[in-house]
Amino acid sequence: MKGLSLFLIKKAISFLILIVILTFFSLFLEKKREGSFLYELLGQRSQSKEMEILKKQFHDPENLWFNFKEKITLFFTFNFGKTLRGEEILPLLIEASKITLLLSMISLIFSFFYGFLNYFLGSLKIFWHEKLLKLNFFLLSLPIFVLAIFFIWLFSLKLSIFPPGGKGPLWYFLPALTLSLKSGARLAIFLLEYKKQEEKKTYIQTLHAMGTPKNRIYAIHLLKNIFLPTVSLWLIDFSTFVAGAAILESIFALPGLGFLLISAFWQYDTHLVSAILVYSAFLVFLTNSLADVLANYFKKFSVQSHNER
């Protein structure tokens, strides 16, 4: 109990430090950028007379420290403020993150199945192991947007099975398939390499020598040891899911977090940009902490099993 409370306190302090650094960093970068929200809003009509009128009406203090204090106070009261166009940021973030999280969850499930399918296929025949490794390395070399465009061409234009974008249940299939193949390839390579290392260990060779069926060795003994590191890797990979989802949301026109960040960036909406950064950092921080807990549990579990033997 004492260990758990200490762990939670440490995590809470690191998260607070993280929020402070990220807020300052994003505000600093936004201040350094050329152009401003006012130029973006006025567009072709940004003549000096109209710019002066807007500048008087729009009170945006130039002082970075003032902006930083205001922002930090807002974040610690769970109030992300409003966008430059007057919308409340928190409901906007929640709506956008539902889409990104749903996409990430569906992709995680697909990638899980893809990864373990590779593991079982690689266990059936030795020569499939090398071929599957090469296939997954090739998939890993494909940039995610290349895969997305290929699937749009194949499934939407040529075969007309799935729609190329929008918001609806069927419209998640193509982006989820794209994201899951990339992360599934990483998971498959990890599982195949881990299996190869574990096969050299004494306990596996003993099982082979005792005549244990190969299927039993791979499906029960090896799988038990591979499962927890796989889940840790999965969780650590979460930030890649968020980044990949950002690109896919632009291609498939899904109004998720990544799409919101890119449009906020082009519109010079500082408030929204720093809010999205803090929010996505929170999600990644949460999954990394979960991965830490699992990794510690796995260490204790394997030490305990070793001591029992």
Partner 1 sequence: MNAKISIALLITLLISSLIAEPKIDIKKAFCPISLENPLGCSALGEDFLQLLISASGGTLIIALLGRILSIFLSLFSSITGFLLPLFWFYHLLAQALLTIPVLFLAVLLRNLWKTHEISLLLSLAVAEWALSHEWLSKRIYDHKQKTFCEASFSLGANKFFLLKKHILPYLWHESLILFFVYFPNSLLTLSALEFLGFSQNTAYSGLGYLVAVGKDYLFYKPELAMLPALFLTIMVFLSLSLKKKISNELS
Kindly list the residues in this chain that would bind partner 1 in the complex (CB under 8 A): 14, 17-18, 21-22, 25-26, 29, 32-35, 137-138, 140-146, 149-150, 152-153, 157, 239-240, 242-243, 246-247, 250, 258, 261-262, 265, 273, 277, 280-281, 284-285, 288
Least distance in angstroms from the C-beta of 284 to partner 1: 5
Cβ atoms of residues 120 and 162 within 8 Å: no
- Taking the least distance from each CB to partner 1, the nearer of 143 and 213 is 143
Closer CB to partner 1, residue 162 or residue 218?
A: 162
Let me know: does 89 contact 80? Beta carbons within 8 Å: yes
d(CA 236, CA 271): 28
Q: How far is the CB of 197 from partner 1 (least distance, A)?
A: 14
We find the least distance from the C-beta atom of residue 148 to partner 1, in angstroms, to be 9
Q: Which is nearer to partner 1, 152 or 176 (CB)?
A: 152
Minimum CB separation of residue 282 from partner 1 in Å reads: 8
For partner 1, give the closer residue by CB, 54 or 262.
262
Q: Quick one: how far is CA 145 from the chain centroid?
A: 16
Of 11 and 82, CB closest to partner 1: 11
Give per-residue burial for 214-248: e unless 16+ CB within 10 Å, then b. Answer: eeebbeeebbebbebbbbbbbbbbbbbbbebbbbb
88 forms beta bridges with: 82
Nearest approach, Cβ of 307 to partner 1 (angstroms)? 27
Residue 226: which residues within 8 A CB-CB, separation 6 or more?
Answer: 119, 191, 194, 195, 198
Whether the CB-CB separation of 168 and 254 falls below 8 Å is answered with no
